[in-house]
């Protein structure tokens, strides 16, 4: 491999010499280029000559230079080496070499495109081969413990490995059976009973029992585990195992939305004997009842193997590989060879490539600013909070920045924003004012704005900073990596947080998380009186059996946050999903992640050289 490094270094060093012409140089000059001795240079020349990479014509007589003839260009040799890495599944090395030696954007794009052909869907050639979906990731998973889930990527993987008692089907707007085939409550909604399916197996072969569900929920509530999601089930007073396949929850107070809480991936059911014996060992590579079982390959990534005995039906794919490629933001150039799916913010004028299709939708959730009500400082002044809100006008932001910012937000929910219009909580004088307001009372005020370091936020940040500057406000921006953002230290230090809320399959549960979850949520920035009022109102909502009255209570919760200037809604984002026409059974969750259990790929037509033509729009579920 070192000899290839030397060849590429020489190609780069003498790139000014036209291709096909020899390079005139001495052994001493070559040794200086390669940072080695003349003796080692002679060995390098011999190896390159034997490999057929160069022709070396020694100079005759003292002072006469030798001639070096390159047989391959830098791009050709780099293509050869990266292909060898990819064939050996050493993808990280391939990307590192591209970053190190690709001298032009065009060369880099072509090489990335070449390596990308090793990703995507790989059909089996023989009965011994597997149908594999190979995807790049650029970060390791933070946790495999359902009780510790905070980030969308971890949640997505958890849903491949584990199951919950019930699931929520957003399209149907109702609960569907999962590990439990039936459930019921008493008239007061304080006693809930769930009946489990028979024959559901954990990945290690043991049958699921009610005792596993009881252990998992008790663990979620345990102070020792200290789960950020424990608030969901804090009303559980007693858990009864009625029989091997029946479990009952006794609550302190009426809770009509209790099944929503059990749809949370944090409420996944674990095999009690494995987790209980040594949790640290178990969560290094856990087993569950989910559609895939996990294999971890250090230095390579994660393999999800199809659960052959999955109770809801075996996945169509055999293996899903998540290949870890650190410090490679480009990851893979999308090509026809990838046969894959890409979801990204909508870009006006963008068109899918040949044989690719596109679907647009408004993402469930919104971008917003959260004000730190707990921190001593200028934002304790309600007038300043209202002033900041009047400066950062959502309608102006959407109109001026456009792109994927589709609707000015007046709610967490896009449908409601469309109904009520833009910024309905603004005072009349704020609505009537033209341009950017200016108040001498707040001129010179300095505030810190914390947000995630993401390309999706850069334009928002610049717009907010410049607009505030014209209004006399000085904004210091602090960017954070994904794992650092929304941590307690960040939330406590920030004056403002720019945050994009994406609501999960159960919008109800996602909104309750915003109102009630202490860790990784904007609730941490609310002062004690606001928290107490939120908790009181949420308790009233959970006890309300009438769906229409519950909607009204949700609206009042939202209004409480805006009227108090605890948050400021900005916009709802339009997303675009593009996919190759061979993709079938495509389902995306609210975060844009693929449901690996249902996806499959139409085989290539060996005669036509392409996939059979078909309309797959009927199998694609648009996310609203």
Give a yes or no: residue 220 inside a domain: yes
pLDDT bin (cut points 50, 70, 90) of residue 127 is: low
As a whole number of angstroms, the distance between CA 451 and CA 331 comes to 23
Measured from the Cβ of residue 64, the count of other Cβ atoms closer than 10 Å reads: 10
Tell me the CA distances in angstroms from 7 to 71, 160, 512, one per residue in order.
11, 45, 60
Structurally, how many domains does the chain consist of? Answer: 4
pLDDT of residue 422: 62
The residue-averaged pLDDT of 198-225 equals 97
Give a yes or no: residue 23 inside a domain: yes
Q: What percent of the chain has pLDDT over 90?
A: 53
Give a yes or no: residue 406 inside a domain: yes
As a whole number of angstroms, the distance between CA 86 and CA 151 comes to 30
* Domain around 418: 365-574
Same domain assignment for residues 387 and 280? no
pLDDT of residue 364: 85
Same domain assignment for residues 281 and 305? no
Identify the residue with better confidence: 524 or 337: 524
Same domain assignment for residues 525 and 507? yes
> pLDDT (tens digit, 9 = 90+) per residue, 487-538?
888 889 999 999 898 888 888 888 898 899 888 888 999 999 999 999 999 9
Final residue of a domain: which of 52, 72, 92? 72
Q: What percent of the chain has pLDDT over 70?
A: 90
573 φ, ψ (degrees, to nearest 5): -95, 140
Same domain assignment for residues 459 and 565? yes
Tokens representing 279 are 């949790």
Same domain assignment for residues 412 and 484? yes
Same domain assignment for residues 319 and 222? no
Same domain assignment for residues 599 and 476? no
> pLDDT (tens digit, 9 = 90+) per residue, 415-442?
999 987 765 545 444 444 557 888 899 9
CB burial string 88-102: b at 16+ within 10 A, e below = ebbbbbbbbbbeebb
pLDDT of residue 567: 94
Final residue of a domain: which of 244, 259, 285? 285
pLDDT reading at 160 higher than 50 = yes
pLDDT reading at 269 higher than 80 = yes
Final residue of a domain: which of 57, 72, 87? 72
CATH code of the domain in which 238 resides: 3.90.76.10
Same domain assignment for residues 517 and 563? yes
* E strands, 282-345, in order: 292-297, 301-306, 319-324, 341-345
* 3-state SS class at 251: strand
Tell me the CA distances in angstroms from 516 to 31, 390, 524, 599, one per residue in order.
67, 27, 9, 35
Give a yes or no: residue 269 inside a domain: yes
Same domain assignment for residues 372 and 333? no
Contact in structure between 300 and 89 (CB atoms under 8 Å): yes
> pLDDT (tens digit, 9 = 90+) per residue, 45-94?
999 999 999 999 988 766 678 999 999 999 889 999 988 888 888 888 88
pTM: 0.83
Tell me the CA distances in angstroms from 340 to 16, 230, 335, 546, one per residue in order.
40, 37, 8, 44
As a whole number of angstroms, the distance between CA 229 and CA 85 comes to 43
As a whole number of angstroms, the distance between CA 318 and CA 304 comes to 8
pLDDT of residue 604: 64
CATH code of the domain in which 375 resides: 3.10.105.10
Give a yes or no: residue 360 inside a domain: no
CATH code of the domain in which 26 resides: 1.10.10.10
Give a yes or no: residue 94 inside a domain: no
Give a yes or no: residue 277 inside a domain: yes
As a whole number of angstroms, the distance between CA 607 and CA 310 comes to 36
Give a yes or no: residue 353 inside a domain: no
Same domain assignment for residues 540 and 458? yes
Same domain assignment for residues 190 and 231? yes
Same domain assignment for residues 483 and 372? yes
């Amino acid at each position: 491999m070192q000899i290839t490094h030397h060849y590429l270094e020489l190609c780069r060093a003498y790139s000014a010499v036209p291709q096909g012409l020899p390079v005139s140089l001495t052994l001493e000059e070559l040794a200086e280029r390669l940072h080695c001795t003349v003796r080692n240079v002679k060995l390098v020349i011999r190896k390159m000559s034997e490999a057929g990479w160069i022709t070396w014509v020694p100079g005759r007589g003292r002072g006469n230079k030798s001639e070096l003839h390159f047989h391959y260009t830098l791009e050709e040799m780099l293509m050869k080496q990266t292909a060898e890495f990819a064939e050996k599944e050493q993808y990280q090395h391939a990307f590192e070499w591209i970053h190190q030696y690709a001298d032009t954007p065009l060369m880099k794009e072509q090489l990335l495109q070449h390596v990308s052909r090793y990703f995507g869907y790989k059909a089996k050639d023989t009965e011994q081969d597997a149908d594999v979906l190979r995807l790049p990731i650029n970060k390791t998973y933070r946790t495999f413990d359902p009780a510790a889930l905070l980030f969308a990527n971890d949640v997505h993987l958890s849903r491949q490995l584990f199951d919950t008692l019930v699931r929520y089907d957003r399209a149907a707007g109702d609960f569907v059976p999962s590990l439990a085939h039936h459930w019921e409550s008493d008239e007061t909604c304080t006693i809930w009973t769930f009946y489990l399916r028979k024959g559901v197996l954990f990945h290690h072969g043991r049958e699921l029992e009610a005792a596993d569900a009881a252990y998992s929920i008790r663990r979620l509530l345990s102070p020792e585990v200290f789960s950020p999601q424990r608030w969901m089930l804090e009303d559980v007073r007693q858990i009864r195992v009625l029989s091997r396949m029946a479990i009952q929850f006794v609550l302190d107070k009426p809770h009509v939305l209790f099944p929503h809480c059990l749809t949370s991936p944090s409420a996944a059911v674990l095999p009690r004997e494995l987790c209980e014996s040594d949790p640290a060992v178990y969560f290094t590579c856990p087993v569950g009842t989910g559609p895939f079982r996990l294999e971890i390959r250090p230095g390579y990534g994660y393999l999800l193997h199809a659960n052959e005995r999955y109770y809801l039906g075996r996945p169509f794919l055999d293996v899903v590989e998540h290949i870890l490629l650190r410090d490679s933001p480009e990851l893979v150039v999308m090509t026809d060879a990838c046969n894959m799916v890409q979801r990204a913010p909508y870009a006006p004028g963008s068109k899918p490539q040949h044989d690719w299709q596109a679907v647009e939708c408004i993402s469930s959730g919104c971008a917003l600013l959260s004000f730190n009500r707990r921190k001593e400082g200028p934002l304790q002044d309600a007038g300043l909070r209202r002033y900041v809100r009047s400066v950062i006008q959502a309608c102006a932001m959407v109109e001026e920045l456009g792109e994927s910012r589709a609707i000015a937000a007046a709610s967490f929910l896009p449908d409601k924003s469309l109904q009520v219009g833009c910024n309905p909580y603004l005072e009349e004088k704020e609505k009537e004012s033209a341009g950017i307001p200016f108040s001498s009372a707040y001129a010179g005020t300095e505030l810190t704005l914390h947000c995630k370091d993401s390309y999706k936020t850069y334009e928002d940040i610049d717009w907010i900073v410049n607009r505030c500057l014209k209004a006399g406000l000085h904004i210091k921006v602090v960017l954070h990596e994904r794992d650092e953002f929304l941590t307690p230290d960040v939330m406590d230090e920030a004056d403002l947080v720019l945050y994009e809320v994406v609501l999960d399959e159960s919008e109800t549960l996602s909104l309750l998380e915003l109102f009630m979850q202490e860790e990784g949520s904007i609730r941490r920035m609310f002062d004690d009186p606001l928290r107490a009022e939120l908790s009181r109102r949420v308790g009233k909502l959970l006890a309300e059996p009438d769906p229409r009255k519950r909607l009204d209570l949700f609206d009042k919760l939202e209004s409480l946050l805006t009227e108090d200037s605890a948050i400021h809604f900005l916009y709802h984002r339009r997303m675009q999903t593009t996919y190759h026409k061979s993709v079938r059974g495509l389902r995306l969750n609210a975060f844009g992640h693929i449901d690996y259990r249902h996806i499959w790929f139409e085989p290539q037509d060996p005669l036509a050289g392409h996939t059979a033509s078909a309309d797959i729009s009927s199998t694609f579920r648009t996310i609203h």
